[in-house]
């Protein structure tokens, strides 16, 4: 039976609706790690370090897709909740067409400045040359990566979360197979890794685009539209928190890498890269649930269905905390096996990563619930508050912690940074959520 965003959601129905988005995000995070796995095991540690250094730049450019996806989701789903499907389709078309143009523009800009970007990341000599090769290929595929990230949200809004899942599975399987042939069989090294990832991004972006260009049975279809500056501005402000989160996360990773080069050299960068791979896989579960819940929240807010809005809020918080407890346990038990996948029998690197991840993973318990605050206010159309919370958690607090903790705890200060950030942010987010309940009534 088809589940609609207008339905009443039991816990079972919410999980059933959300699982395609969760699996989609899992595949996205896993295939994002595929390059690292093949490169570290079949090419070498310098190319692996190059991927870890440059990937934040790719995420910044591709993260623009989240602006159009999450920001557009709130506008489109609200229009659907108000019963105006024609307006929702017009907004959908405007957002998709604009995202394509923006993706092309940013791909060109990135390619032109690839050398300067690589040098700014701290790369020198052979590492710098390798970074430039990797970025040269991936910037060509930036428009498709942007589309892929955008449709991860909009497929759920259209009532087709499985479409996003299918596109992501195709991209993930494609990346794994292409990496195998490009790196192991043809031995194209860093160029092959970048090409495989780029083609997988192409698949992830083009499949949903073709679907919405054709006649379909979803809420949405690409068609005629007109330029509406206010709609695009609202989309950007609504989606600002997700972009801010993506942008600041990338900047923070860059700053952490620079600090790690100072404290532990190339092994420090690679250890942190491995921890990030594992963390992204874990966080994808939180993001998948939040992504699926966002259009439900927007719809019920637009329809003024406060009872269902309260129902979704309560279930989301409970599930995110439960997932956090499970992932924390899994992380501590399997820290060593996870590390060995990427460390290529480098015992020094393995030990550093296991120790670091077990400290880092404590924060996972609350990361889903605290991250949900930004998703909540984005879905409610309060993009500025969402962006502010996201900016504090993903940028301001990490910078403060990064430049204080290592001075007292050394390398352990890096690994414990996320836990300290979570503790501080809880004391900020909880009062904000309680105060704004008077306006939105998501807590009974």
Is pLDDT larger for residue 50 or for residue 238?
Answer: 50
In whole angstroms, give the CA distance from residue 242 to residue 65: 10
Can you give the pLDDT at residue 315?
Answer: 93
Cβ atoms of 174 and 91 within 8 Å: the answer is no
- Phi/psi for 13 (5° steps) reads -70, -40
User: Does the structure show a pLDDT above 70 at 31?
Assistant: no
Q: Indicate the Cα dihedral angle 219, 223, 224, 228, nearest 10°.
A: 60
Tokens matching residue 211: 């679907």
pLDDT digits (tens, 9 = 90+) for 372-414: 998 899 888 888 898 889 888 888 999 999 989 998 988 899 9
DSSP line for 109-157? HHHHTHHHHHHHTT--HHHHHHHHHHHHHHGGGHHHHHHHHHHHHHHHH
In whole angstroms, give the CA distance from residue 12 to residue 319: 11
SS3 303: coil
In whole angstroms, give the CA distance from residue 31 to residue 53: 17
pLDDT digits (tens, 9 = 90+) for 91-132: 999 999 999 999 999 999 999 999 999 998 878 888 899 999
Burial 270-279 (b: 16+ CB within 10 A, else e): bbbbbbbbbb
pTM of this structure: 0.74
pLDDT digits (tens, 9 = 90+) for 303-342: 888 999 999 999 999 999 999 999 999 999 999 998 888 8
Other C-beta atoms within 10 Å of 423: how many?
12
pLDDT digits (tens, 9 = 90+) for 223-233: 889 899 888 99
Domain boundaries defined on the chain: 11-440
Tokens matching residue 54: 């440059």
Tokens matching residue 174: 């494609």
Closest CA to 275 of 365, 366, 363: 363
In whole angstroms, give the CA distance from residue 353 to residue 358: 8
Can you give the pLDDT at residue 161?
Answer: 76
- Phi/psi for 83 (5° steps) reads 85, 15
In whole angstroms, give the CA distance from residue 101 to residue 107: 10
Q: Output the CA–CA distances (angstroms, integers) from residue 211 to 15, 167, 357, 412, in the order listed.
A: 25, 10, 40, 48
User: Does the structure show a pLDDT above 80 at 181?
Assistant: yes
Q: Output the CA–CA distances (angstroms, integers) from residue 304 to 159, 292, 314, in the order listed.
A: 20, 19, 17
Closest CA to 396 of 287, 244, 214: 244
| Residue 1 pLDDT grade (very low, low, confident, very high; cuts 50, 70, 90) | low
DSSP line for 25-50? HHHHHHHHHHHHHHHHHHT-HHHHHH
In whole angstroms, give the CA distance from residue 22 to residue 379: 18
In whole angstroms, give the CA distance from residue 236 to residue 233: 5
| Residue 80 pLDDT grade (very low, low, confident, very high; cuts 50, 70, 90) | confident
| Residue 366 pLDDT grade (very low, low, confident, very high; cuts 50, 70, 90) | very high
Average pLDDT of the residues in 51-77: 85
Q: Which residue has 């930004």 as its token pair? A: 374
User: Does the structure show a pLDDT above 90 at 268?
Assistant: no
Average pLDDT of the residues in 81-87: 84
Can you give the pLDDT at residue 192?
Answer: 94
Closest CA to 191 of 301, 9, 409, 43: 43
Can you give the pLDDT at residue 212?
Answer: 93
Q: Indicate the Cα dihedral angle 37, 65, 88, 240, nearest 10°.
A: 120
DSSP line for 152-185? HHHHHHTT-HHHHHHHHHHHHHHHHHHHIIIIII
Lowest-pLDDT range of 110-114, 202-206, 246-250: 246-250
Tokens matching residue 355: 């120790």
DSSP line for 51-104? HHHHHHHHHHHHTHHHHHHHHHHHHHHHHHHTT-HHHHHHHHHHHHHHHHHHHH
Which DSSP symbol is given to 415?
H
């Amino acid at each position: 039976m088809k589940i609609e965003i207008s339905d009443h959601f039991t816990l079972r129905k919410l999980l059933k609706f959300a699982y395609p988005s969760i699996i989609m995000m899992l595949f996205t995070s896993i295939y994002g790690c595929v390059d690292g796995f093949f490169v570290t095991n079949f090419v070498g540690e310098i190319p692996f370090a190059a991927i870890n250094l440059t990937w934040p730049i790719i995420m910044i450019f591709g993260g623009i897709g989240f602006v159009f996806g999450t920001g557009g989701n709130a506008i489109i789903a609200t229009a659907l909740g108000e019963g105006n499907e024609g307006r929702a389709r017009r907004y959908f078309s405007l957002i998709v067409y604009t995202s394509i143009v923006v993706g092309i523009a940013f791909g060109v800009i990135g390619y032109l400045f690839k050398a300067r970007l690589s040098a700014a990341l701290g790369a020198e000599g052979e590492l710098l040359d390798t970074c430039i090769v990797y970025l040269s290929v991936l910037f060509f595929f930036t428009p498709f990566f942007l589309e892929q990230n955008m449709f991860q949200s909009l497929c759920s809004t259209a009532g087709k979360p499985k479409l996003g899942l299918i596109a992501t599975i195709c991209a993930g399987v494609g990346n794994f197979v292409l990496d195998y042939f490009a790196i192991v069989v043809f031995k194209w090294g860093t160029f092959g890794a970048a090409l495989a990832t780029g083609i997988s991004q192409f698949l992830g972006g083009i499949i949903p685009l073709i679907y919405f260009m054709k006649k379909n049975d979803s809420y949405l279809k690409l068609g005629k539209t007109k330029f509406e500056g206010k709609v695009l501005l609202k989309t950007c402000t609504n989606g600002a928190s997700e972009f801010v989160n993506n942008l600041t996360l990338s900047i923070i990773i860059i700053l952490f890498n620079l600090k790690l080069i100072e404290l532990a050299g190339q092994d420090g960068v690679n250890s942190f890269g491995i921890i990030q791979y594992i963390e992204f896989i874990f966080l994808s579960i939180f993001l998948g649930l939040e992504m699926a819940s966002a259009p439900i929240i927007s719809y019920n807010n637009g329809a003024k269905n406060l009872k269902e809005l309260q129902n979704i809020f309560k279930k989301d918080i409970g599930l995110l905390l439960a997932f956090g407890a499970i992932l924390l346990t899994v992380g501590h038990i399997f820290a060593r096996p996870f590390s060995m996948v990427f460390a290529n029998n480098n015992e020094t690197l393995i030990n550093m990563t296991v120790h670091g991840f077990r400290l880092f993973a404590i924060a996972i318990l609350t990361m889903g619930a605290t991250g949900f605050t930004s998703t909540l206010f984005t879905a409610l159309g309060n993009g500025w508050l969402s962006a502010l919370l996201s900016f504090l958690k993903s940028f301001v607090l990490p910078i403060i912690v990064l430049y204080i903790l290592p001075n007292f705890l050394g390398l352990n200060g890096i690994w414990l940074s996320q836990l300290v950030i979570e503790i501080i942010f809880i004391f900020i987010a909880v009062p904000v959520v309680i105060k704004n309940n008077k306006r939105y009534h998501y807590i009974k």
